[in-house]
Structure 1
């Protein structure tokens, strides 16, 4: 089809009738796997755990926000009934617009989920008329009015974008083709709908990101709505990220006096994170686990970047996807019953990969020679051993996390928090190495042996509560033992102990020491004093306190061994902190420089391979121009740069520099390609034009990738 002259008409090229086949998600997953064997099963298990993370975090968020959302629902449903009465205060409240200031915190990425839940609950139990507004879609007043009418009436509202700016702030804006885009039109629609009905549900307008709205839009919107408060039961909900003072900053006193503001506080993001970590990380019910450094990266992003639980969960899902993509034995990362069935049908290639795992090789090294040789050669024996090791690994987790929470329950109230205030901090310490070798743990044990009776009893009671519903037999026995120690603590009579301690003490050997004595006599006396001090009788409470702390210490040493000590821990634990950091902490400049320096990293074309830090002559023009500009100083001569570029590009065509007279010659095509490459580098911020020399550009970045 010829289109020689575009000025003569507009030409339409219809797409082919054949539909392009879109590859399934399983195919993308299989192509991305390092080892494609068993990709279908790995994708299925990964998808199951992914969906479980999404469902669990959603239910956790609803549970945490339930109290606040219930109060908001009561506020929205009851606020317009408060004006019933003859007192002056009731009449004043009836002339104001009820507004709920919902304090959501600085974790802005999590606000959408909370406000979406609020909208659904309002539509379900209070009113069907809910309009959620975003600042980016309400740049002007008429746009805000249009969005409110569209979402309250569930109909299309047309407005004329060519209206004058003076008219768009009027209380009545008339659309071009559709309904009148004004609050008056909304009142007429509301009166017509509920003319013969006694129930008049409120109209709720939610400002998702209150601080991002233009002050002028907010002020005029509130002023216009206040004129119709007698006809329309309006309720505002302000989603605020910072503090209640944001309302005073955006609205002057003449506007805030038209509102009746009530404050609501949502749960803190740290509390939300603790609930998510407890449900998805510190539990034996979820098979996938994070290594210490990978978990530290996710927690660090949360604490030092955005305080977003949503992004923390996304990071956990990224780690889950990377684990199933890179680890072929992740087919065993599932529930215990399914894992045992999968282990019984492992293929020979999977068994060979299992033999190469460092943890399994360490396990084989601890076996007898005959047993070790059998495991390394006999597949049937290895399958049975794998089933036993998987069952042992799950049993290890069933005991690990309850003891971890008991340790946190005892140490979280100690002075200066030697093991941290949050249970995740204790978990990170336990993941690094044996916790009983940590100096902070030894300090915590010493402090525990100096606690009073009430403090120790309270800590033991918390441990008993933690172990109350644990199914493991070892944990049931530990709970029974702790309950016995707790009963003994409660049964002690401190008054009797005080009376017993008040008995006469032995005479000090110093009193029997002569005024004049020799060195031998002094040494003998000092030895007797040391024996007397060591032989001092401890009170029953002190003995019971030592017994209690020693029992907890024995639990820690028995069940809190690092995961690296467990055979086959690699099938459940993901430890690549660098991969998680690369996916979550975006570094655009580093990525761009890496792509321009070595395009093979992204394009995966063997013709683009380059050695010695150079660039292939067949690389994209922008890559060639970028590598050449790295060899220049602060100012780059454009003509010299063009000649060097043409020389490199000529080599891509396979021309001989000696035989071809046009080698490195600047022609129109190469000149145009060079101009485009330079323009792209300028757009990316690597160079800029300078007035120092007309035929030069200034280099802006230093340090290659």
Structure 2
């Protein structure tokens, strides 16, 4: 790097722009804790010009200095933002003044030790949305900063959502040559989502779970709308809130020890709610008559049974997730990923139905039975590590079984019978080169392969596949088959769609057609098909425009609006009465708002008409 170049980091974050604020916030905290206290974060909307950029830069830097040094205004006259001169000279003077103080032993020096190639902490300027900055603002700032790089150290960080090539598109070569650019690529938003799901959902540490349909709704919103991990977490929080707010039995969605204590304090009404659960009703129907009577009439018997069932549900989760990860490890080594490349896809498939009854699972089993020895051994080692690291106590025997299979693979001596047979066949073919004998020999080889005896490796491979298949069939049952799953699983997909999948046209029609639905004002109540004069002006204009055709006469629309508005004031008023200026202004404003919302537009067919853009009631 040349001495006149500005060290610059091009940080490619991806298209999930809504998560960038959180990323830069964390980056600023890391830099302030370990590199320098002088970190400035800028946005394009705050810096329309170079003057605004310099003012924002100086304001943030001085605010950071005051917080850490608590200096008096008499000692540092540049502290007041009102006296900031938006110039590089002011920035240089401030930096020289601050670094002199930090040499004495201020909190700035204790907090961040400067890098080796700098005597003082650098000033880090973060451009969060580099693509949105005006080209002239960036060029001017870089050119000015390059002239003063010898007086104070400066580091730039460009936040990029698309491609690093945007730097060379926005900046000419004369400006970009002043930067020493280093490219940094963040993890993709899909990888972040995988980590979030792995820590929140694919663990038995947290009792709250999402059903397959709810999880699929959140994943679809992520993949097809915004790629925002933060919005996915908000959707998860909404599900958590709705589950504990709307489900009375969510009081038992807690740790097993706490759940057993809470069961003893259940009221009779809560016991009745348990008896109404579909999964519990199936459980009661499978019991003998005496047990059924006790569960349906005796609260004490019910509480004892519920404690046992909750423990079974917890054990189910302890066993489910390790086996799920083992199956995922198994499918990752197969071509085309029959059960999905991501573990969330496999999780949704297992929650939806019995995964071993699907065609994809059958293809997985067939492909695994053709794996080579080294591939199969690597898979078994990964599965053993997953099971050993899991908290499930009942899977200890499975880990020992996998260790036994690994030992048998290590000690397996491959026979050379098949190889010798194939060599002798080749020699026989070489001796008989005529077409008749060649065809005859190939047919004999084909028949011998069809009825050949399995080798020891092939027999052991079949045994391993059958063992893994038995674990899948035993522990990867769908959650809906578990008793009392309603207490810990949230399955109301319509609530998520209502809050997260916005339907703006339906919401607008509801608000304009029935303002009471949102405002909850008794004066706004009206019969269906009626137009109330107490409604907001835009609601009156909207209902009147629904009665018109493709073109709407503004004069007729205004007269109808005036009649509705003045009906309560003067019942004897007619359309022939002159419309006063106030009603005229209210009508113009209502029509302008409808045009802004996209319900109407001006038309050149008739000067006093507007065209309607929507049809139907919503």
Question: If the length of structure 2 is used for normalisation, what is the TM-score?
Answer: 0.84
- Structure 1's 608 and 499: CA in aligned 2 closer, same or farther, altered over 3 A? same
- Structure 1's 334 and 236: CA in aligned 2 closer, same or farther, altered over 3 A? same
SS of the counterpart of 2:155?
Answer: strand
In the TM superposition, what are the counterparts of 1:229-248 in structure 2 within 5 Å?
Answer: 229-248=149-168
Q: CA deviation at 1:393?
A: 1.0
Work out whether residues 531 and 564 of structure 2, in 8 Å CA contact, stay in contact via their aligned partners in 1.
no
Aligned to 2:328, which of 408, 414, 419?
A: 408
Alignment correspondent of 1:25: none
Q: CA deviation at 1:476?
A: 1.4
Distance in 2 between residues matched to 1:690 and 1:311, nearest whole Å: 41
Distance in 2 between residues matched to 1:450 and 1:647, nearest whole Å: 82
Work out whether residues 110 and 308 of structure 1, in 8 Å CA contact, stay in contact via their aligned partners in 2.
yes
Work out whether residues 646 and 665 of structure 1, in 8 Å CA contact, stay in contact via their aligned partners in 2.
no
Q: CA deviation at 1:226?
A: 0.7
Work out whether residues 207 and 254 of structure 2, in 8 Å CA contact, stay in contact via their aligned partners in 1.
yes
Work out whether residues 328 and 350 of structure 1, in 8 Å CA contact, stay in contact via their aligned partners in 2.
yes
Alignment correspondent of 1:114: 23
Does 2:84 correspond to 1:179?
Answer: yes
Does 2:240 correspond to 1:327?
Answer: no
Does 2:58 correspond to 1:138?
Answer: no
Q: CA deviation at 1:582?
A: 2.7
Q: CA deviation at 1:599?
A: 3.2
Work out whether residues 411 and 418 of structure 1, in 8 Å CA contact, stay in contact via their aligned partners in 2.
yes
Distance in 1 between residues matched to 2:100 and 2:567, nearest whole Å: 82
Alignment correspondent of 2:617: 704
In the TM superposition, what are the counterparts of 1:513-528 in structure 2 within 5 Å?
Answer: none
Alignment correspondent of 1:193: 98
Bigger mean CA offset, 307-316 vs 576-585: 576-585
Does 2:258 correspond to 1:345?
Answer: no
Alignment correspondent of 1:595: 511
Distance in 1 between residues matched to 2:413 and 2:541, nearest whole Å: 86
Work out whether residues 402 and 467 of structure 1, in 8 Å CA contact, stay in contact via their aligned partners in 2.
yes
Alignment correspondent of 1:98: 7
Bigger mean CA offset, 641-650 vs 147-156: 641-650
SS of the counterpart of 1:538?
Answer: coil
Alignment correspondent of 1:685: 598
Distance in 1 between residues matched to 2:527 and 2:311, nearest whole Å: 49
Question: If the length of structure 1 is used for normalisation, what is the TM-score?
Answer: 0.74
Bigger mean CA offset, 695-704 vs 269-278: 695-704
Aligned to 1:381, which of 298, 301, 305?
A: 301
SS of the counterpart of 1:402?
Answer: helix
Unaligned 5+ segments in structure 2 are 67-79, 104-117, 426-446
Q: CA deviation at 1:225?
A: 0.6
In the TM superposition, what are the counterparts of 1:192-271 in structure 2 within 5 Å?
Answer: 192-195=97-100, 197=103, 199-271=119-191
Q: CA deviation at 1:664?
A: 8.4
- Structure 1's 477 and 369: CA in aligned 2 closer, same or farther, altered over 3 A? same
Distance in 2 between residues matched to 1:613 and 1:349, nearest whole Å: 43
SS of the counterpart of 1:427?
Answer: helix
Aligned to 1:300, which of 194, 213, 220?
A: 220
Alignment correspondent of 1:392: 312
- Structure 1's 491 and 137: CA in aligned 2 closer, same or farther, altered over 3 A? same
Work out whether residues 414 and 456 of structure 2, in 8 Å CA contact, stay in contact via their aligned partners in 1.
no
Work out whether residues 387 and 396 of structure 2, in 8 Å CA contact, stay in contact via their aligned partners in 1.
yes
CA-based RMSD of the aligned residues comes to: 3.2
Q: CA deviation at 1:651?
A: 8.3
Q: CA deviation at 1:117?
A: 1.6
In the TM superposition, what are the counterparts of 1:533-544 in structure 2 within 5 Å?
Answer: 537-544=453-460
Work out whether residues 567 and 573 of structure 2, in 8 Å CA contact, stay in contact via their aligned partners in 1.
no
Distance in 1 between residues matched to 2:402 and 2:421, nearest whole Å: 27
SS of the counterpart of 1:93?
Answer: coil
Bigger mean CA offset, 494-503 vs 394-403: 494-503
Distance in 2 between residues matched to 1:625 and 1:482, nearest whole Å: 74
- Structure 1's 336 and 248: CA in aligned 2 closer, same or farther, altered over 3 A? same
In the TM superposition, what are the counterparts of 1:539-554 in structure 2 within 5 Å?
Answer: 539-554=455-470
SS of the counterpart of 2:125?
Answer: strand
SS of the counterpart of 2:552?
Answer: strand
Alignment correspondent of 1:318: 238
Distance in 2 between residues matched to 1:224 and 1:288, nearest whole Å: 55
Unaligned 5+ segments in structure 1 are 1-91, 158-174, 506-530
Alignment correspondent of 2:433: none
Q: CA deviation at 1:581?
A: 2.6
Q: CA deviation at 1:555?
A: 0.8
Does 2:369 correspond to 1:453?
Answer: no
Q: CA deviation at 1:503?
A: 12
Distance in 2 between residues matched to 1:462 and 1:652, nearest whole Å: 79
Q: CA deviation at 1:690?
A: 3.7
Work out whether residues 184 and 228 of structure 1, in 8 Å CA contact, stay in contact via their aligned partners in 2.
no
Q: How many pairs are equivalent?
A: 569
Work out whether residues 106 and 241 of structure 1, in 8 Å CA contact, stay in contact via their aligned partners in 2.
yes
Work out whether residues 650 and 664 of structure 1, in 8 Å CA contact, stay in contact via their aligned partners in 2.
no
Distance in 2 between residues matched to 1:613 and 1:403, nearest whole Å: 59
Alignment correspondent of 1:492: 412
Work out whether residues 323 and 475 of structure 2, in 8 Å CA contact, stay in contact via their aligned partners in 1.
yes
Q: CA deviation at 1:642?
A: 5.0
- Structure 1's 176 and 275: CA in aligned 2 closer, same or farther, altered over 3 A? closer
Deviations 1:455-512 (A, max 9, x none): 211211111121121222221111111111122122211245646977999xxxxxxx
Bigger mean CA offset, 559-568 vs 377-386: 377-386
